Amino acid sequence: MFEIKVLFVTSEIAPLIKTGGLADVSGALPVALREIDIDVRVLIPGYPKVMAQLGPNEVVARFLEIPGFPPSRLIFSIMESGVPLLVLDCPSLYARDGGPYADANGNDWVDNSIRFGLLSKVAAILGSEESPLSWQPDLVHGNDWQTGLTGAYLSVAKGAVPNVVTIHNLAFQGNFPPKNVQLLHLPPQSFQPDGMEFYGNMSFLKAGIFYAYHITTVSPNYAREIQGEALGFGLQGLLHARRNDVTGILNGIDTDEWNPETDKHLPHHFSVAKMSGKALNKQALQSRMGLDINPEVPLLGVVSRLTHQKGLDLLLEIAQSLLDLPVQLVILGSGEPQMQNTANELALRYPGKVAAMIGFDEGLSHLIEAGIDLFIMPSRFEPCGLNQFYSQRYGTPPIVHSTGGLADSVVDCTPDTLKNGTASGFVFSGMTTENLYTTIVRAIDLYRDQRKWKALRKNCMSKDFTWKTSALAYRDVYLKVLGRTEYE
Ligand code: ADP
């Protein structure tokens, strides 16, 4: 029997619509929460991709007159994972070609404040007396800036339930000109430093943090980091002031989607007990990407947005010296044009040794995780990160910068950690090309020692990455916010 009812609000959800890690979390966490008796229902905008993939559905509400917003309606459906979905259908805001946040050229939709203002507003309506639904949540759980105004709307709603906000990346804040306060019919008193005012603009994320009963973020280390100047993106003061209400909960992963024994994207399956399939995937990857077929050479890989945050400029800078070594490199990613060009140029200059695929390719990302030997993730900051989990699960030790969730989820390989069975990758501190280079060389050295290498791979693959632990931690937050110590 369900004990807590939660409206989970998100701007993307796998497998329906995905631009990054938020979609993975939104697809998997509600499933894990439902398994521990929390009745989670997900509210998501009705982008074309979402509408096109809906199973049997029914219209459950029509919002004809929300001041400041075009008419919209709510459609109820159930995802394949079993999670109930409330789709906010508003064709004038969401029915467009392009991504959830930007058009096909990467330019943000000019009316994003209205698009995600409506999402926040409807979340608040569903969490108040005004809700047209018979199902009423005990709390609203929003994610990132796109849901940030929910708490501000709830603060003036009748019969409002409490709300929680999860920060997946503080760098994206949803800051807009102040006229939006009026346009979005927000309480005028909310536009002040003790509210949503942020350096003269109105900020969705600041509102989210200010008005939430509790704030979570996606790793304990990142929860600490965002309270300091270096990674606080201007919100460190507020986050520090609210530190007793900030909790870091490490993400899990979808262990069905990312299972080397059953992964539908892999030509060969493997497990910790039977690793031969991994070598065959390496061969398949080399062949597909036009790399020399060579089982011995250490194959390094990247799957990432190609942005400053991900630190891949460092890798591209050292690529030439790295490629003097007997290694291969495969890059899958898209993002900043300059990084894309450099990756393409490397592939042209080193045929058979470097392969680059610019774009987003879910299937290939699985084959890369399975087929490579070392995954490279030198993020400057990383709230949680997912690929370091995927690679560990696929017996591919990650090389990571010691930041955010990477520091919480990868244990550096040293003689001690290898001996006590905790080593699960290679971690470097200090974001310099030299540190990255020496760490890659250290990893390659270990790769040459097959006995140690196998022990390291086994550690990686034996770790528990399920959502269960995280779901229990979210339940604790919900109980705290609801003022309950245990189920009543
Ligand atoms: P972020 O959300 O900051 O982009 P995460 O590591 O948390 O980074 O999650 C990124 C997710 O997107 C992972 O599931 C990763 O595999 C996927 N991903 C990123 N770039 C690509 C790409 N070019 N092709 C396929 N999947 C990608």
Ligand 1 centre and the CA of 21: distance in Å?
A: 6
- Whether residue 486 is contained in a domain is answered as no
Ligand 1 centre and the CA of 131: distance in Å?
A: 35
- Whether residue 487 is contained in a domain is answered as no
CA pair distance 386, 251, nearest whole angstrom: 8
Ligand 1 centre and the CA of 19: distance in Å?
A: 7
Ligand 1 centre and the CA of 27: distance in Å?
A: 14
Beta bridge partners of 44: 87
Task: With H, G, I as helix, E, B as strand and everything else as coil, classify residue 348.
Answer: helix
Ligand 1 centre and the CA of 383: distance in Å?
A: 13
Q: Are 459 and 475 members of one domain?
A: no
- Whether residue 257 is contained in a domain is answered as no
- How much is the CA Rg of the chain, to the nearest whole Å? 23
Ligand 1 centre and the CA of 158: distance in Å?
A: 40
Structural domain boundaries enclosing 12: 4-252+468-481
Q: Are 414 and 475 members of one domain?
A: no
- Whether residue 86 is contained in a domain is answered as yes
Mean pLDDT by groups of 10 residues along the chain of 488 residues: 91 94 94 96 98 97 96 98 98 96 95 98 98 98 98 98 97 97 96 97 98 98 97 97 97 93 98 97 98 98 96 96 96 96 97 97 97 98 96 98 98 97 98 98 97 97 95 97 74
Q: Are 234 and 323 members of one domain?
A: no
Ligand 1 centre and the CA of 22: distance in Å?
A: 10
Nearest CA to ligand 1 atom 12: 20
> How much is the pLDDT for 98?
94
Q: Which residues contact 251 (CB under 8 A, 6 or more apart)?
A: 21, 24, 25, 29, 218, 219, 384, 386, 389, 405, 467, 470
Q: Are 222 and 284 members of one domain?
A: no
Number of H helices, E strands in the chain: 19, 18
Domain with 16 in it: what CATH number? 3.40.50.2000
> How much is the pLDDT for 430?
97
Q: Are 228 and 365 members of one domain?
A: no
- Whether residue 269 is contained in a domain is answered as no
Structure tokens at 398: 């990650």
* Mutate-to-test residue for ligand 1 from 364, 387, 400, 410, highest number of ligand atoms within 8 A of CB: 387
Our count of domains for the chain comes to: 2
Residue 242 and residue 164 in contact, taking contact as beta carbons nearer than 8 Å: no
Q: Are 179 and 296 members of one domain?
A: no
> How much is the pLDDT for 254?
86
Measured from the CA of 309, which atom of ligand 1 is nearest?
3
Residue 350 CA: distances (Å) to CA of 70, 167, 357: 54, 40, 14
Ligand 1 centre and the CA of 191: distance in Å?
A: 35
Nearest CA to ligand 1 atom 24: 360
Per-state percent for the chain, helix, strand, coil, to nearest 5: 40, 20, 40
CA pair distance 115, 109, nearest whole angstrom: 9
Ligand 1 centre and the CA of 387: distance in Å?
A: 7
- Whether residue 266 is contained in a domain is answered as no
- Whether residue 488 is contained in a domain is answered as no
Ligand 1 centre and the CA of 331: distance in Å?
A: 12
Measured from the CA of 169, which atom of ligand 1 is nearest?
3
Ligand 1 centre and the CA of 23: distance in Å?
A: 10
Q: Are 306 and 373 members of one domain?
A: yes
Ligand 1 centre and the CA of 221: distance in Å?
A: 20
* Mutate-to-test residue for ligand 1 from 265, 360, 391, highest number of ligand atoms within 8 A of CB: 360
Measured from the CA of 357, which atom of ligand 1 is nearest?
23
> How much is the pLDDT for 486?
57
Beta bridge partners of 377: 400
Measured from the CA of 332, which atom of ligand 1 is nearest?
23
pTM of the model: 0.92
* Mutate-to-test residue for ligand 1 from 168, 172, 303, highest number of ligand atoms within 8 A of CB: 303
Measured from the CA of 386, which atom of ligand 1 is nearest?
6
Q: Are 447 and 474 members of one domain?
A: no
Measured from the CA of 390, which atom of ligand 1 is nearest?
16
Q: Are 195 and 63 members of one domain?
A: yes
CA pair distance 119, 110, nearest whole angstrom: 16
Q: Are 230 and 343 members of one domain?
A: no
> How much is the pLDDT for 488?
45
Nearest CA to ligand 1 atom 26: 362
* Mutate-to-test residue for ligand 1 from 168, 254, 289, 365, highest number of ligand atoms within 8 A of CB: 365
Q: Which residues line ligand 1 (CB under 6 A)?
A: 20-21, 24, 303-305, 332-334, 360-362, 365, 384-387
In degrees and rounded to multiples of 5, residue 268 shows phi and psi of: -135, 130
> How much is the pLDDT for 20?
86
Ligand 1 centre and the CA of 334: distance in Å?
A: 10
Q: Are 472 and 457 members of one domain?
A: no
CB neighbour burial string for 91-123, b if at least 16 within 10 angstroms, e if fewer: eebbeeeebbbeeeeeeebeebbbbbbbbbbbb
In degrees and rounded to multiples of 5, residue 216 shows phi and psi of: -120, 155
- Whether residue 258 is contained in a domain is answered as no
Nearest CA to ligand 1 atom 20: 304
Q: Are 317 and 246 members of one domain?
A: no
Residue 124 and residue 147 in contact, taking contact as beta carbons nearer than 8 Å: no
